[in-house]
Amino acid sequence: MKVGVVTFPGSLDDRDALRAVRAVGAEPVSLWHGDADLKGVDAVILPGGFSYGDYLRCGAIARFAPVMDALIPAAQGGLPVLGICNGFQVLCESHLLPGALIRNDHRKFNCIDQRLVVENASTAWTSDFETGQEITIVLKNGEGGYVADEATLDRLEGEGQVVFRYAGSNPNGSYRAIAGVTNERGNVVGLMPHPEHCIEDGYGPSLDGLPFFTSVLRQAVSA
Amino acid sequence: MGHVVIDVMLKPEILDPQGQAVGGALPRLGFEQFTDVRQGKRFVLTVDGDVTDAHLAAARDAAEKLLSNPVIEDVVSVRAAGADEDPDQ
């Protein structure tokens, strides 16, 4: 199975995402923002970082990169896509996921081990978790406040599209403590915390990042 | 050379941490009379010749597609800069 990781100008965590893909036995493929070519991959990760310096709005300029012209229809057609941190912001700006991310309510940059509750273990990226499972993943961002209007939030809750919720205190003012969401089909998932940093003993607070990558691998095997 | 001026603001119901930070600094400088600050964005687009209705229509389109995110922001104004107004100043 091939999993692509897109590098935008200002991406930071693309190498860690490629490494996580390799760690679970899949083939990592580097994708370039300037190429409208997904190189035949079976899934795509949009990594963390500060694409285009977060100019205009986080993810707003990356959303119009040539690679997105190929990725958006593929995602709408069912390709598994995971957006981590800045990648989540890109997916929201692309309208592949509902809502938007704004500056943390306390205006400080977070860099913490964050507890999360898995609310939906049936997406392409969460099937190796149990619904209700509590995990700990690192969270590091300045603009992680998830916002959407009340009707959208109610719909997300009703349809099971809230995938992760912050446990304990809300680290950034996200509405309804939402840390990650999915689309209606469950193939596109975005979250602010960083599973790719939690895949190896001695680095990060847990190995709770691994199931993200094994989940999508299992999906490809069974497809 | 004409200019189109576009103003974008966060929707009123969206928290504005930057505006709050500015609002918190004002009293320290002795400005006690301002009860709230909201911070927005201004874009100045330059065109050859005078600004036409077609320029304004394209600017509105660009404002909706790129310059604002309709989930969190409103485009509050798209207008041609006045003849006595130099938007670069």
Do B72 and A147 make contact, defined as CB atoms within 8 angstroms? yes
Tell me, what's the pLDDT at B67?
Answer: 98
- Going along chain B from its start, the domains and CATH numbers come out as 2-80 (3.30.1280.10)
How close, in Å, is residue A97 to chain B by CA atoms? 11
8 A C-beta contact, residue A97 and residue A183: yes
Query: Which chain B residues are Cβ-neighbours of A156 within 8 angstroms?
Result: none
* Residue A18 host element (H or E): helix A14-23
Q: Could you say which residues from 127 to 146 on chain A have a Cβ atom under 8 Å away from some Cβ of chain B?
A: 145
8 A C-beta contact, residue A75 and residue A188: yes
- Does residue A59 belong to the interface with chain B, where contact is any CB pair within 8 Å? no
Angle between helices A14-23 and A210-222 (to 10 degrees): 60
Alpha-carbon torsion A89, B69, B19, A172, what sign? Answer: negative
Instruction: Report d(CA B18, CA B39) in Å as an integer.
Output: 7
Tell me, what's the pLDDT at B85?
Answer: 77
Report the predicted TM-score, pTM, of the whole model to 2 decimal places. Answer: 0.94
Single-letter amino acid, residue A126: T
pLDDT tens per residue, chain A (223 residues)? 999 999 999 999 999 999 999 999 999 999 999 999 999 999 999 999 999 999 999 999 999 999 999 999 999 999 999 999 999 999 999 999 999 999 999 999 999 999 999 999 999 999 999 999 999 999 999 999 999 999 999 999 999 999 999 999 999 999 999 999 999 999 999 999 999 999 999 999 999 999 999 999 987 766 5
β-strands A2-7, A27-32 pairing: parallel
Extents of the domains making up chain A: 2-222
Whole-Å CA distances, A30 to A43, A139, A145, B15, B78: 12, 24, 29, 37, 41
CATH H-level, domain A2-222: superfamily: Class I glutamine amidotransferase (GATase) domain (3.40.50.880)
Coil/strand/helix, residue B72 = coil
Active-site positions of A read: 85, 194, 196
- Which residues of chain B have a Cβ shorter than 8 Å from any chain A Cβ? 10, 13-15, 17-18, 20-21, 66-67, 69, 71-72
